[in-house]
Amino acid sequence: MTSVSIVFHDDDIIVVDKAPDLLSVPGRGPEKLDSVYHRLTLQFEEVHIVHRLDMATSGIMVFARNKASLKNLQQQFQNRQTEKSYQAILAGELHPETGAINLPMRCDWPNRPRQMVCYEYGKKSLTRWRVMEYLDGSTRVELLPFTGRSHQLRIHCNAMNHPILGDNLYGTEESQKARQYLCLHAQSLTFTHPVSTERMTFGSPPPF
């Protein structure tokens, strides 16, 4: 077990740069204990889960070190007072260079953990995008989720017929095999410090 890449910590928060293919929080069973949360509990006396990233997704996460900070940070996420930016590589050339996609989503229960677009029972899910560069048969984009549904960015990109490379849950056989790992990275997170009230931004470059 390797340690977690800690970007910042004080008495109230811990900010980490999560590696790909590492659980954010423990799953069911001892074989799924290893996670960012579990590793942090080996280093810090008190750790609380504020939000999650998919196991395959890398990037910036924040944890709370006490219950007061947990409540404050959770309210910021729920009230959309945080700012999140992701970087991804998509199959094909995405046009236009900027836009938004608003497709309601819900869990695809028979095929969990897959999610699906559902106009009848789905919850509002909004993502904005900006093309960063066109590569050889693919596109590097910045993704700005307004909502934070499970697998939202993966579903929305796939719905535009530009699946994220290396996504083994969605997309085509070709896009799944294009990379050995999911090309989706939480490159920056902005929130207000729960005690100092300072507006803080943390970032990390994508590993792809």
For residues 113 and 147, membership in a common domain is answered with yes
The neighbour count for residue 195, using CB atoms within 10 Å, is 14
The string of pLDDT tens digits covering residues 41-91 is 999 999 999 999 999 999 999 999 999 999 999 999 999 999 999 999 999
Is the pLDDT at 2 greater than 70? The verdict is no
pLDDT of 166 strictly over 70? yes
Question: Per-residue pLDDT tens for 28-42?
Answer: 888 889 999 999 999
Picking from 145, 79, 146, the residue whose alpha carbon sits closest to that of residue 71 is 79
Instruction: Let me know whether 105 and 44 are in one domain.
Output: no
**Same domain, yes or no, for 89 and 177?**
yes
Dist CA 77 CA 190 (whole Å): 10
pLDDT: is 50 or 27 the higher one?
Answer: 50
Q: What pLDDT band is residue 182 in, cutting at 50, 70 and 90?
A: very high
Number of separate domains in the chain:
2
105 touches 116 (CB < 8 A): yes
Residues 48, 99 within the same domain: no
Taking residues 89-95, what's their average pLDDT?
98
Count CB neighbours of 75 within 10 A.
11
Residues 103 and 36 in one domain: no
The pLDDT assigned to 30 comes to: 86
- Looking at the fold, whether 161 and 95 belong to one and the same domain comes out as yes
Same-domain check for residues 90 and 170: yes
Mark whether 91 and 40 lie in a shared domain: no
**What pLDDT score was predicted for residue 1?**
60
Q: 21 pLDDT exceeds 80?
A: yes
Last residue of a domain, one of 63, 82, 101: 82
Distances (CA, A) of 207 to 43, 107, 178, 187, 193: 25, 29, 15, 10, 27
For the chain, what percent of residues have pLDDT higher than 90?
Answer: 95
Tokens in use for 203? Answer: 């970032």
Confidence band, pLDDT 50/70/90 cuts, at residue 11 = very high
Answer whether residue 189 is part of any domain. no
Which residue segment(s) compose the domain that 126 sits in? 85-184
Are 92 and 178 part of one and the same domain?
Answer: yes
Answer for the pair 125, 154: CB distance below 8 angstroms, yes or no: no
pLDDT at residue 28 in the model? 87
Q: Name the band, by pLDDT with cuts 50, 70 and 90, for residue 163.
A: very high
Question: Which of the residues are catalytic?
Answer: 54
